[in-house]
Structure 1
C-alpha cells in the first residue's frame, strides 16, 4: 500500500503546493467550495498540497496539510462532499452532528449546512466532490419522482463494510486511472459508467433521508415500456448510456425499469446492454484487418469493456472461442477473399 506522504495520489494533477495558508485557501476554494483555513498552532510550518482531477460531475482530490489546521465553510450550496482520511484524523461538525474521521470512517457533507473541520498535523485525505444538481437528478431517476430538497446524508460513513467499502474501492480505482497517462477514463463509455457507479453507489452506501424509499419494492413496468428501452439500447449501444438515462427516456424509475427487464427479458438493462455490446465487438472483430494493427483491446475498449479479463470470459462463454481467435478468423477470411 502506498504511503500518501511519500508518494501522493494524483501527482500528475497538481493544483498547488505552498507554504502560504491564504494561497491554499484561495486555490482550494476554486476547486471545491469557498473555504477559510487557519493554522491551529503558532509558528507551525505550513506545507499544503492539493492534487485534483474531475470526471464529469465528480471531482476527486488529494489534500494534505503538514500543520494542524482549522477549515470552515459558508453554507454549502452547489455540491456534496465526502472526505476520506488516508493518514491521521479529522474532527468534523455539520448541521449539529459531529464525527471523528479516520481511514475507516469518512465524513459526508450535505448542502444547506455550515461545515467545520479540524485537521491533525500531517493529515492527508481523499476529498470527493459531487455536483448537487447531478446527484439529486440521479436520485430522482432512481425514485421516479422529484426531489425538492437537498439530500440529508448522515455525517459519518463506515468504510469497512458493505456498500461503503465497495464505493471506496471505486473511488480508489478512479484515482489509479487518473494517475495513468493512458487511463481508460478518457473513453466516454467508461467515464459515463464510472460516474454512474459513483453517484448510485453513494446513494445506496450512505444513509440519508430517502434511503427507505430507495429500499422499498416497486412494481415492474409493462412490456411495451421494456420494448422501447430495448430499442434505445440497440440504437445507442455506442453511447455512454446509463440505466438512469434509459429510465428517464422511457418515463419510468430506474427500479421499475429494472424489475420490468428482469420479468420480460430475464436480465437487467445493463446486462442486456453488455450483451448488445458483446455482439458489436464480435461483429467488429470478424470485420477487422489484423494486418492493419487492429487489436482485441482496442475493439473491446471502444465498446466500453474496461476489465479485459472479465470481457474475455464473457466473450468465450457466448461465442465458444476467445476474442483473439475471432480476430484471426475474420482476418484470414478477409485475406482469402482478397486473394480470390
Structure 2
C-alpha cells in the first residue's frame, strides 16, 4: 500500500466516530461481528487468552466500510458468506486466508477478495488491523448484469489475492480512501441518494474490472454486449413481463423477427437462449422476493409458482446452485 494511502486509512482515529464496540470478551466479539457480517466460529489460535477487539462500521446503501482488529491471534470459520462479498485490506499485521481452493498470506501488500459462494476460513494474527469492504451480493450481481447486458448464468467467482501495488490495487485503494474520507469529513455527498448510488456503483464496477473473476473477460470486451435491437428489445420485454406466461413465439412476435433469428441473436451476443434468459430473470426475482421481509406472508411455494417455477424439486436444485443456499434458508434469514 502506498505511503499516502497507508497514512489516510491507517491513522489510529480513522472511522473512530463509527465505533460499534470495543470488548475483551471473545463471545461478545463473535456476536457483535456476526451482527454486521454473518454467524461464524471464532476461537483463539495463539498463546493469549483474551481479545481486545474493536470494530468500526460505516454504511452507504449496499456497501459498508469496516475496520476490525481482534488484538489476539484468532481462527475464524465463516462457511460461505452467501449474501455478501468481502474485500479485506490489512493496514498492519498479517493473516492466513483460505477461500474455496485458494489460499494467500494477506499483508498490507496483498488484500483478499472473498467470493460469497465459497467457504472462508482464516487465521488473523494479533497485530492485524484491517479495512474490510462489504458489498451486498445482490448489488454486486445486479451491477455485473447491467454491464454484461444479460442476467448472470452462474455465480460470480473472484481470484482471492489483490496485490496492492498493481494498477488495479492502487485504483481500488484510492477509491476506498476517498469513501473513508467522505465519511470522516461528514461530506454532504453521502447524504445525497443520487450521489450514494453513484459511489456504490463505482466501487462495485471498479472491483469487477480490476480483480480477476469469471466474467471479467466479457466485461472488458464491450463488443460482446452490443447486441442487435431485437435482442435488447426482447430482454427489456422479459424484464418487464417475467411473471407472465411467455413463449418463444411471443418473444419473437414482440421483436418482429423469426424465432430462428431470435435464437441466433441470443446465441451470438448473449451466449444463451431467450428462454434461459427468462428463467434467469425469474430466478433473480424469486431471490429478491424471498429476501424481502415485507413478503413474509407468502410461502416459498407461492413465490416460486408466481414466477413460473411449478416443479419445486427442480426449482430448489437450480436455486441452490445459483445462490449457494436453499430457498427456505434465504427466507429464514430474511425473517430473522
User: Partners of 1:200 and 1:3 in 2: how far apart?
Assistant: 23
State the secondary structure of the residue aligned to 1:74: strand
Aligned to 1:60: 65
User: Partners of 1:4 and 1:40 in 2: how far apart?
Assistant: 27
Equivalent residues in 2 for 1:32-71, closer than 5 Å: 32-71=37-76
Residue 87 of structure 1 pairs with residue 92 of structure 2: yes
1:96 to 98, 101, 115: 101
Kindly indicate whether the alpha-carbon contact (under 8 Å) linking 2:24 and 2:51 is maintained by their aligned counterparts in 1.
yes
Aligned to 2:279: none
User: Partners of 1:19 and 1:50 in 2: how far apart?
Assistant: 12
User: How has the CA–CA distance of structure 1 residues 3 and 199 changed in structure 2, closer, same or farther, with 3 Å as cutoff?
Assistant: closer
How big is the alpha-carbon RMSD for the aligned residues of Structure 1 and Structure 2? 2.5
User: Partners of 2:199 and 2:188 in 1: how far apart?
Assistant: 13
User: How has the CA–CA distance of structure 1 residues 6 and 21 changed in structure 2, closer, same or farther, with 3 Å as cutoff?
Assistant: farther
Equivalent residues in 2 for 1:98-247, closer than 5 Å: 98-218=103-223
State the secondary structure of the residue aligned to 1:66: coil
Kindly indicate whether the alpha-carbon contact (under 8 Å) linking 2:9 and 2:177 is maintained by their aligned counterparts in 1.
no
Q: TM-score with structure 1 length normalisation?
A: 0.62
- Ranges in structure 2 where 5+ consecutive residues have no aligned partner: 1-5, 230-268, 270-336
Q: TM-score with structure 2 length normalisation?
A: 0.63
User: Partners of 2:106 and 2:43 in 1: how far apart?
Assistant: 20
User: Partners of 1:4 and 1:173 in 2: how far apart?
Assistant: 10
Cα offsets for 1:99-151 (capped at 9, x unmatched) = 11111211111122211111111110001111111111111110011103221
Offset at 1:3? 8.6
User: Partners of 1:201 and 1:5 in 2: how far apart?
Assistant: 22
User: Partners of 1:191 and 1:5 in 2: how far apart?
Assistant: 24
2:23 to 18, 24, 45: 18
User: Partners of 1:171 and 1:18 in 2: how far apart?
Assistant: 26
User: How has the CA–CA distance of structure 1 residues 217 and 75 changed in structure 2, closer, same or farther, with 3 Å as cutoff?
Assistant: closer
- Ranges in structure 1 where 5+ consecutive residues have no aligned partner: 224-255, 257-340
User: Partners of 1:166 and 1:5 in 2: how far apart?
Assistant: 17
Aligned to 1:226: none
Residue 76 of structure 1 pairs with residue 76 of structure 2: no
Offset at 1:49? 0.5
Kindly indicate whether the alpha-carbon contact (under 8 Å) linking 2:10 and 2:91 is maintained by their aligned counterparts in 1.
no
Cα offsets for 1:229-251 (capped at 9, x unmatched) = xxxxxxxxxxxxxxxxxxxxxxx
Equivalent residues in 2 for 1:224-303, closer than 5 Å: none
Stretch of structure 1 that moved more, 97-106 or 176-185: 176-185
Offset at 1:222? 8.3
User: How has the CA–CA distance of structure 1 residues 115 and 222 changed in structure 2, closer, same or farther, with 3 Å as cutoff?
Assistant: closer
Q: What stretches of structure 1 move > 6 A for 4+ residues in a row?
A: 3-6
